[in-house]
Amino acid sequence: MDKVAKTISLKKYGIDTANVHYQLSPNELHKITLEKGMGKEASSGALAVNTGEFTGRSPLDRFIVKDAVTDDKVWWGNVNIPFEPKAFDALYDKVTNYLTNKDVYVRDSFACADKDYRLNIRVINEYPWSNMFADNMFLRPTKSELQDFDPEWLIVNAPGFMADAKVDGTRQHNFAILNFTRKIALIGGTGYTGEIKKGIFSALNFILPVYKNTLPMHCSANVGKDGDTAIFFGLSGTGKTTLSADPNRRLIGDDEHGWTKENTVFNFEGGCYAKVINLSEENEPEIYGAIKKGALLENVVLDASGNVDFADTSITQNTRVSYPIDHIANIQVPSIGKNPKNIFFLTADAFGVLPPISKLTPSQAAYHFISGYTAKVAGTEAGIVEPTPNFSACFGAPFMPLHPTVYAEMLSKKMKEAGVNVWLVNTGWTGGPYGIGTRMKLKYTRAMITAALNGDLGLYSYDKYHIHSVFGVAQPRECPGVPTEVLSPRSTWNDDEKYYTTAFKLSNAFRENFKKFESFANEEIRRGGPQRYAF
């Protein structure tokens, strides 16, 4: 990229600094990061950094300023934690004061690939590599778009600034605060880059449904040769990024999309953020190949020759790489697709009881969307390893400022209008729970998804499908490329009693979790839950 013939002042933001580095290219940021000793170059050419104390988001330190814009709209609670406007103003001034006279890296970019929905973003970073992350993840303006760029939202990102909880009104030294009136995301005390992208995601999850009649979704999306769009919802680690990178389908995006009133699906972002734990070229060639110059690796361990050991989780299990979307060969340009034909709900069921693929009725689709189930596996240390169910409404509760039923109702309506097929895909365990069974083979999951997309799983009928006796979902009896016994979780266990005991344990957890939504959900949605009684 050519140098940008433009300089900007940050005075209006309260930052009086002579050292503004505006719109540097990824190469320049890569170089500066190395020069400052803040990163290393991997043998692939990618830049590798450590994000410091935080290697993941900190949901308990995510706040929303409670004011006239948000007060009666946001679903306040322990996900959307209120923050005083005055406390925000004071903390903002402290952070900008902290950044004064420092080198700061400023970038203008967009969110939302559809121009009618575009959000102009200015990011101010304390660290060069955080600014490179912003360049990878947001949409990159052209030179002419930059000339008259008018920023709407501001992200101030100061990982080195530590809040004083008692004075500043935070929980501890780190914080990520959204202010919808001032249109600012204020992030401090954490270098974890995911806070930057999920800050804007959370802002859009408020803006799009409230002002633009558009459904924001925590999902990946891709499009087939015939232009058919598929979207994949799922919580972290369930396979959104992995499964959307499909050599036979063009990638729209790997994490955040909007479904518009014009019945299109657009990516919010301009890049991907893949998990790299145990990444192999054989299993995930597209992602593996994207890790080259311009990509930013986080919290991985390099050997003396700069090779990444993807099995090394000594820093964190949540090792990551971000890269501009065009590091993937097969992409949709621009990142927009038509009305989806297939929706996949991905879940990593560590109990190993959900079928690897099943078809959902509209009631079940609504029920599972509101439930947002996946499982967490207890630490990797030896000893007792009981999986715990993790329910997160809309498959993304930490990022959803509004009540889950707002999103669920929009989705139900859109699904009905589009006549979409909805599938529940268990990318988690088979042959028993975590500790006894094994993770579903990626090649089987891919084969099941391909079969669903190609219409190879047949029409919904009793000879093609078995209705699961606990969850009521329709389990295909056969699938090209997948051994038949794998399709029935019960038969992979070889112990019916244990299987059903565990299945009922999970169905009880579903019902327990759903209680808080019962008063909002109509009869149709409630019918989509697991069956009530053992038999």
Q: Where along the sequence are the contacts to Mn ion (CB under 5 A)?
A: 240-241, 255
Total H helices, total E strands in the chain: 14, 29
Residue 84, marked binder = no
**Which partner, ligand ATP, Mn ion, none, binds residue 356 by CB below 5 to 8 Å per kind?**
none
Q: Residues 183, 403, 439, 498: which binds ligand ATP (CB under 6 A)?
A: 439
Q: Which residues pair with 308 in a beta bridge?
A: 302
Nearer to ligand ATP, 105 or 273 (CB): 273
Residue 320, marked binder = yes
Residue 284, marked binder = yes
Q: What's the distance, CA 88 to chain centroid?
A: 26
Q: Does 327 bind ligand ATP (CB under 6 A)?
A: no
* DSSP codes joined into one string, 188-227: ES---THHHHHHHHHHHHHHHHHHS--EEESEEEEE-TT-
Q: Tell me how far, at minimum, the Cβ of 135 lies from ligand ATP, in Å.
A: 19
Q: Does 241 bind ligand ATP (CB under 6 A)?
A: yes
Selecting among 214, 220, 236, 347, the annotated active-site residue is 236
Find the radius of gyration of the CA atoms of the chain. Answer: 23
Q: Does 239 bind ligand ATP (CB under 6 A)?
A: yes
Non-local CB neighbours of 483 within 8 Å, separated by 6+ positions: 444
| Spatial distance between the Cα atoms of 445 and 349, rounded to a whole number of angstroms | 13
Q: Residues 95, 290, 440, 452: which binds ligand ATP (CB under 6 A)?
A: 440
The single-letter DSSP state of residue 481 is T
Interface of this chain with ligand ATP, residues 441 to 500, rule: CB under 6 A? 442, 445
**Which partner, ligand ATP, Mn ion, none, binds residue 234 by CB below 5 to 8 Å per kind?**
ligand ATP
Q: Does 414 bind ligand ATP (CB under 6 A)?
A: no
Q: Residues 108, 246, 255, 409: which binds ligand ATP (CB under 6 A)?
A: 255
Active site residue 515: no
Q: Tell me how far, at minimum, the Cβ of 136 lies from Mn ion, in Å.
A: 13
243 near 286, Cβ under 8 Å?
Answer: no
The residue whose two tokens read 């909007």 is 258
Q: Does 128 bind ligand ATP (CB under 6 A)?
A: no
| Spatial distance between the Cα atoms of 454 and 168, rounded to a whole number of angstroms | 55
Q: Tell me how far, at minimum, the Cβ of 515 lies from Mn ion, in Å.
A: 30
Q: Does 234 bind ligand ATP (CB under 6 A)?
A: yes
Interface of this chain with ligand ATP, residues 260 to 279, rule: CB under 6 A? 273-275, 277
Selecting among 66, 94, 122, 198, the annotated active-site residue is 198
The sign of the dihedral angle between the CA atoms of 469, 474, 478, 484 is: negative
| Spatial distance between the Cα atoms of 208 and 369, rounded to a whole number of angstroms | 19
Residue 55, marked binder = no
Residue type, 450: T
Q: Residues 242, 342, 347, 421: which binds ligand ATP (CB under 6 A)?
A: 242
Residue 239, marked binder = yes
Helix (H, G, I), strand (E, B) or coil at 303: coil
Active site residue 241: yes
* DSSP codes joined into one string, 401-457: -S-HHHHHHHHHHHHHHHT-EEEEEE-SEESSSTTTSEEPPHHHHHHHHHHHHHTTT
Active site residue 516: no
90 near 105, Cβ under 8 Å?
Answer: no
Residue 372, marked binder = no
Residue nearest to ligand ATP (CB): 239
The residue range among 102-110, 163-171, 205-213, 435-443 that interacts with ligand ATP, by the rule CB under 6 A, is: 435-443
Active site residue 182: no
The sign of the dihedral angle between the CA atoms of 273, 279, 283, 288 is: positive
Non-local CB neighbours of 369 within 8 Å, separated by 6+ positions: 233, 345, 394, 395, 407, 408, 411, 412
Q: Which residues pair with 120 in a beta bridge?
A: 110
Q: Residues 240, 257, 468, 490: which binds ligand ATP (CB under 6 A)?
A: 240
Residue type, 379: G
Selecting among 30, 57, 107, 122, the annotated active-site residue is 57
| Spatial distance between the Cα atoms of 533 and 133, rounded to a whole number of angstroms | 50
Q: Does 243 bind ligand ATP (CB under 6 A)?
A: yes
| Spatial distance between the Cα atoms of 92 and 86, rounded to a whole number of angstroms | 10
| Active site members | 57, 198, 218, 236, 240-241, 255, 320
Binding residues for ATP: 198, 218, 234-242, 284, 320, 445
Binding residues for Mn(2+): 198, 218, 255
Binding residues: 57, 192, 198, 218, 234-242, 255, 284, 320, 445
Where along the sequence are the contacts to ligand ATP (CB under 6 A)?
234, 236-243, 255, 273-275, 277, 284, 427, 439-440, 442, 445
